[in-house]
Amino acid sequence: MFHRTKWLSIMLSVSLGLISCPVTQPAQAAAATIAEWKFDEGSGKTTKESVGNTSDPIHYVFNNAVYKPSGAPEWKADGISGSALLFDGYSTWVTHNPIATPSTAMTIETWVAPRAYEWGDNGMLSAIVNQHDKSAKQGFVLGVFRGGTWSLQIGSGGNWYELWAYEPLPKYEWSHLAATVDGTQGTMKLYLNGQQVASRSIPANSTITPSGNPLLIGKNNQSTPLAVFPLNMFNGLIDEVKIRSGAASAAEVQSSYQSYLTQLGGNLPTPDTGFNRSTYNGDKYRPTYHAIAPGHWMNEPHAPLYYNGQYHLFYQNNQHGPYWHNMHWGHWVSEDMVHWRDLPPALSPELFQVDPDGDWTGSSVIDDAGNPTLFFTAGNDAKPYIGSNQNIGVARSTVKQDGDNDLKKWIKESKLAVTQQPGQGKTGEFRDPYVFKDGSTWFMLVGTGIEGQGGTAAVYSTSDPKLMNWTYRGPLYQSNMAAYPHLGTVWELPVLLPLGNGKHLLAISPVGSGADVEVYYWIGTWNSGTAKFTPDQPAPQLMDFGDFKFTGPSAFVDPVSGRNILFTIAQGERSSQEESDAGWAHNAGLPVELSLRPDGRLGINPIAELKSLRGQQLVNITTDTSFAAANTALAAVSGDTLEIEVELARGAADQVGMKVRRSPNGEEETLLYYKNSSDEYGVNRTKTVAGTNKGIQKGTVDLGKENVKLHVYLDKSMVESYLNGLKSITTRTYSTREDAKGLQLWADTNTDSIVVKSLKVWSMNPAYVQTPASGVTLSPASLQVTEGGKKSLHATVAPSNATNKNVTWTSSNPGVATVVNGVVTGKSAGTATITATTRDGARTASSAVTVAAPASSANLTNGGFESGNLSGWIVESGTAFSDAAVSNQSVFWDTQPFNHKGTYHLWGFKQGEEATGVLKSSNFTLGGNGQISFLVGGGSDIDKLYVSFHRASDGKELFRSTGPGTYWNWQSSKGETESYTRRYWDATAYIGTSMYIKVVDERTDGWGHINVDDFLVPVQGGATDTQAPTAPANLQAPAKTANSVTLGWGASTDNVGVTGYTIFRNGTQVGTSTTTGYTDTGLSPNTAYAYTVKAFDAAGNGSAASSSLTVTTQASTIGGITNHDFESGNLTGWTVESGNAFSAADVTADVNWGWGGPFNQSGTHHLWGFKDGGDGQVGVLQSETFTLGGSGVIDFLIGGGNDINNLYVALVRASDGVELMKATGSNNEAYSRITWNAASYVGTPCYMKIVDNATGGFGHINVDDVNVPALK
Domain for residue 1025, yes or no? no
CB atoms within 10 A of CB 405: 14
Q: Cα-flanking dihedrals φ and ψ of residue 405, to 5°?
A: -70, -15
Range 1149-1175 average pLDDT: 92
Contact partners, residue 592, CB within 8 Å, separation at least 6 = 565, 566, 604, 605, 606, 607, 722, 728
Say yes or no: 163 and 20 in one domain.
Answer: yes
In a shared domain, residues 621 and 538: no
Question: Are 413 and 447 contained in the same domain?
Answer: yes
Question: Which domain, by its residues, includes 155?
Answer: 14-263
User: Which of 805, 835, 852 is where one domain is finished?
Assistant: 852
Q: Do residues 649 and 740 share a domain?
A: yes
For the segment 1035-1040, the average pLDDT, to the nearest whole number, is 90
Instruction: Tell whether the model's pLDDT for residue 1022 goes beyond 70.
Output: no
On whether residue 445 sits in a domain, the answer given is yes
pLDDT digits 0-9 by tens, 623-666: 999 999 999 999 999 999 999 999 999 999 999 999 999 999 99
Q: Give the domain CATH number at 669.
A: 2.60.120.560
Question: According to the model, what pLDDT value does residue 384 have?
Answer: 54
Confidence of residue 5 (pLDDT cuts 50, 70, 90): very low
* Contacts with 691 (C-beta within 8 Å, 6 or more apart), sequence order: none
What pLDDT is attached to residue 217? 98
Same domain, 117 and 253: yes
Cα distance between residue 1095 and residue 1104, in whole Å? 8
Residues, the chain: 1272
Do residues 368 and 472 share a domain?
A: yes
Q: What percent of the chain has pLDDT over 70?
A: 96
Q: Are 1151 and 1264 in contact (CB under 8 A)?
A: no
530 and 392 in a common domain: yes
Flag whether 282 is in a domain. no
Question: What pTM does this model have?
Answer: 0.80
- Residue-level pLDDT at 1085: 83
Q: Are residues 581 and 708 in the same domain?
A: no
Query: What pLDDT digit, counting tens, does each position of 529-541 carry?
Result: 999 999 999 999 9
Could you report the per-residue pLDDT of 379-437, keeping only the tens digit for each? 988 765 556 789 999 999 999 989 999 999 999 998 899 999 888 999 999 999 999 99
- Cβ-contact 902, 983 below 8 angstroms: no
Rounded Cα distance, 1220 and 1248, in Å: 10
Identify whether 433 is preceded by a cis peptide bond (ω within 30 of 0).
no
Residue 528 belongs to some domain of the structure: yes
Q: What CATH number is associated with residue 1202?
A: 2.60.120.260
**Mean of the pLDDT values across residues 1244-1256?**
93
341 and 451, same structural domain?
yes
Rounded Cα distance between 1142 and 1148, Å, is 12
Residue partners of 564: CB distance under 8 A and separation at least 6: 497, 498, 499, 505, 555, 556, 557, 558, 593, 594, 595
Asked whether residue 273 is domain-assigned, the answer is no
What's the one-letter identity of residue 805? K
Based on the domain organization, do 462 and 531 belong to the same domain? Answer: yes
Structure confidence by residue, pLDDT tens digits, 740-775 = 999 999 999 999 999 999 999 999 999 998 999 999
Instruction: Answer yes or no: is 275 within a domain.
Output: no
* Domains of the chain: total: 7
Sequence-distant (≥ 6) Cβ neighbours of residue 608 within 8 angstroms? 593, 1202, 1203, 1204
Q: What pairing do the DSSP bridges indicate for beta strands 1207-1213 and 54-59?
A: unpaired
Per-residue pLDDT band at 52 (split at 50, 70, 90): very high
What CATH number is associated with residue 200? 2.60.120.200
- 720 and 675 assigned to the same domain: yes
Do 690 and 667 contact (CB within 8 A), yes or no? Answer: yes
Mean per-residue pLDDT over the chain, rounded: 92
Q: What is the CATH number of the domain that holds 779?
A: 2.60.40.1080
The per-residue pLDDT for 1239 is 80
CATH number, residue 1069: 2.60.40.10
| 280 phi/psi in degrees, rounded to 5 | -100, 10
Q: Is residue 1024 very low, low, confident or very high in pLDDT (cuts 50, 70, 90)? A: low
pLDDT digits (tens, 9 = 90+) for 110-156: 999 999 999 889 889 999 999 999 999 999 999 999 889 999 999 99
- Give a yes or no: residue 284 inside a domain: no
Looking at residue 308, what is its pLDDT?
94
Q: Is the pLDDT of residue 235 over 50?
A: yes
**How many beta carbons lie within 10 A of that of residue 856, not counting itself?**
11
Do residues 1107 and 1213 both lie within one domain? no
The contacts of residue 1096 (CB under 8 Å, 6+ apart) are: 953, 1029, 1058, 1059, 1060, 1061, 1062, 1102, 1103
- Does 1026 fall in a domain? no
* pLDDT, tens digit, 9 for 90 and up, residues 242-256: 998 888 999 999 999
